[in-house]
A and B are shown apart, each in its own frame.
Chain A
């Protein structure tokens, strides 16, 4: 699922609003703030009239069951989407579909930049993955540099690798997101 961040915020906002609204109604009624609106404070939470009304409606409990199944499935889907991010299996080398399609496995492309970075003395380990779409891929790069390396040098070295990567894919404006970590000093 793309845009998990935005989805998370919207879902949290809606659930927060529902909780706040429910809690506020309970507080207002219990503290007798608006008795004309919500009813007297010293009344049963589930009174006799409500009980009879529910008993008279044959659709009530099946509807509650159906709604809870629906919310259960939505919550499960929301939970599972946290661990998902689409990585590409292949990239298109020829952006113009009329001239035929050439695809390259993403693994081949990402190992190329990992190997390029491994040649640098500053870089200890790197992982690359492609996201986005096959015709306009994006690069996610996570680089771990040696503790005694100069991160500024490492940044420029990574920049050169990304540049070569763009040339190989013939995509000058390929977006890259780079995370730099440092290991603990070995001495």
Chain B
């Protein structure tokens, strides 16, 4: 079990059963809260860089007072400040990069983040359940290959759509798409993702 899995159970508010009239809104919200990404990767990168930068500055300054100066900071950094003007290219580029990075971090902090799993109906008011995206793709591709004449199938799962790419070895592929759609939709109905997925199918002839 990963920390992400544990965090999903630990970090959210207690799950409260919604009223039947809200059309599954409470369930969708609880699942979104539980499975939303934690921004762990940007946090690790930013905190590590910040620790390195401030650690070097602290080591440089403190070593100066102790008496053994360690030169851990690039010497050019200080000279640049004394020689460059505000309208020189390097300060301008540095400012621009700082602006862009700042906007990127603000975006990462404010945007809700894409779920890495697909929440499904848990049949229980105090549970949230989700299936990994890869697992759902395999499950739906398997459904498509149950149709006679379908040799292989690939599925892409987006937020509101499941796209099925099937390959058939039959000469006449008319009507296969509709059969696949029924097979895949049937499975989705049983699994009941909280965000309903529309199924679109394309079938091509397999080149032998």
Partners in one complex: yes
A-side residues, CB < 8 A to B, are: 2-6, 8-13, 15-27, 29-32, 39, 41-46, 51, 61-62, 64-65, 68-69, 71-72, 75-76, 78-79, 82-87, 127-129, 131-132, 136, 138-140, 142, 145, 147-148, 150-152, 155-156, 158-159, 162-163, 173-182, 184-185
Q: Are B47 and A4 in contact (CB under 8 A)?
A: no
Whole-angstrom distance between the Cβ of A42 and the nearest chain B Cβ? 5
Q: Are A179 and B47 in contact (CB under 8 A)?
A: no
| Set of chain A residues within 8 Å of B58, measured between Cβ atoms | 65, 68-69, 72
A10 CA / B47 CA spacing, docked (Å): 13
| Contact pick for A45, options B43, B91, B142, CB 8 Å | B91
Q: Are B117 and A179 in contact (CB under 8 A)?
A: yes
Interface of B is mostly: helix
Find the A residue at minimum CB distance from B40: A82
Find the B residue at minimum CB distance from A77: B47
Q: Are A151 and B47 in contact (CB under 8 A)?
A: no
If A41-B85, A75-B54, A79-B47 touch, whether A155 touches B132 (CB-CB below 8 Å) is: no
Chain B interface residue number, banded: 35 or more
A127 CA / B54 CA spacing, docked (Å): 40
If A5-B7, A46-B81 touch, whether A176 touches B126 (CB-CB below 8 Å) is: yes
Given A12-B43, A13-B106, A64-B61, 13 additional A-B pairs, CB 8 A = A4-B7, A4-B11, A76-B47, A76-B51, A128-B1, A131-B10, A148-B142, A151-B136, A155-B120, A162-B124, A162-B127, A176-B9, A177-B34
| Contact pick for B42, options A8, A42, A75, A79, CB 8 Å | A8
Whole-angstrom distance between the Cβ of B124 and the nearest chain A Cβ? 5
| Contact pick for B124, options A27, A72, A152, A159, CB 8 Å | A159
